[in-house]
């Protein structure tokens, strides 16, 4: 495992400038936050073939104590291999996703905290949505955000996904509340 910190004054100046623009326009709660960007070398696909693109963390006391960055609020790490293959627009969208993880509010103990890392608004399985539609509140909000239109940087990716089985029938099981929206870790 190897990590490289992206210098604000070096080769990654444009990335920091975009981050500053996004904070000023969409994430004003981060105006006073000290955020470090970096690149992670060596993330591999998990057992399901998924590759982590980004990781957002708060620095641990140990990292703070031994680093030259004492007043860091967030560290945003990009998968260097994936980042290199992305278009500029995809890179900016990934950075904005990282900023969406950075919030203020209550920490795990319920105490007021200036900053914390939050989980994504939605997470699910395509096959489940194909069978049952937007049945959870987070999926309904996502559907409404798209307004029923094909939107996004990867709108053609759905063409690569297998179609749902024609033989499957929609079933409604009243005994299954279907409302479970438990927390799931976002890698």
- Joined together, the tokens standing for residue 106 give 């209550």
Residues 49 and 74 in one domain: yes
Dist. CA 56–CA 119, nearest whole Å = 10
Residues 112 and 131 in one domain: no
Q: Which of 88, 117, 146 is the last residue of a domain?
A: 117
The DSSP-derived string for 64-97 is HHHSS-TT--EEEEEEHHHHHHS-HHHHHHHHHH
Residues 36 and 82 in one domain: yes
Q: What is the mean pLDDT of residues 65-80?
A: 84
Residue 186 lies in a domain: no
Q: What does residue 8 show for φ and ψ, rounded to 5 degrees?
A: -65, -30
pLDDT of 163 reads: 43
Residue 167 lies in a domain: no
Residues 94 and 139 in one domain: no
Q: 25-60 pLDDT, tens per residue?
A: 999 999 999 999 999 999 998 998 888 999 999 987
Residues 133 and 100 in one domain: no
Residues 11 and 60 in one domain: yes
**171/154: higher pLDDT:** 154
Residue 142 lies in a domain: yes
Residues 103 and 137 in one domain: no
- Compute the radius of gyration of the chain from its Cα atoms: 19
Residue 44 lies in a domain: yes
**171/36: higher pLDDT:** 36
Query: Structural domain of residue 105, as residue ranges?
Result: 2-117
Q: What is the mean pLDDT of residues 156-170?
A: 43
Q: What is the mean pLDDT of residues 81-108?
A: 88
- Joined together, the tokens standing for residue 95 give 């950075």
Number of domains observed in the structure of the chain? 2
Tell me what the pLDDT averaged over the chain comes to.
76
Residue 182 lies in a domain: no
Among 85, 64, 66, which residue's Cα sits nearest to residue 75?
64
Q: Euclidean distance between the first and final Cα of the chain, in Å? A: 16
Residue position matching structure tokens 């070398």: 41
Residues 77 and 16 in one domain: yes
Whole-prediction pTM? 0.69
pLDDT of 148 reads: 60
8 A C-beta contact, residue 38 and residue 4: yes
Q: 102-153 pLDDT, tens per residue?
A: 997 666 676 666 888 988 887 777 777 888 888 888 788 888 888 765 545 5
């Amino acid at each position: 495992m190897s990590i490289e910190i992206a210098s604000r004054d070096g080769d990654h100046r444009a990335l920091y400038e975009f981050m500053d623009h996004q904070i000023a326009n969409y994430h004003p709660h981060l105006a006073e936050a000290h955020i470090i960007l970096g690149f992670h070398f060596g993330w591999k696909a998990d057992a399901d073939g998924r590759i982590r693109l980004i990781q957002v963390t708060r620095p641990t006391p140990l990292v703070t104590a031994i680093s030259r960055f004492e007043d860091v609020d967030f560290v945003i790490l990009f998968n260097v291999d994936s980042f290199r293959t992305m278009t500029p627009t995809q890179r900016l969208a990934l950075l904005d996703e990282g900023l969406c993880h950075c919030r203020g509010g209550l920490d795990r103990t319920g105490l007021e905290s200036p900053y914390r890392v939050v989980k994504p608004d939605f997470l699910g399985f395509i096959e489940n949505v194909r069978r049952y539609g937007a049945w959870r509140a987070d999926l309904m909000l996502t559907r409404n955000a798209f307004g029923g239109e094909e939107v996004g940087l990867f709108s053609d990716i759905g063409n690569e996904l297998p179609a749902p089985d024609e033989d499957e029938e929609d079933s409604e099981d009243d005994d299954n509340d279907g409302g479970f929206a438990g927390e799931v870790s976002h890698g």
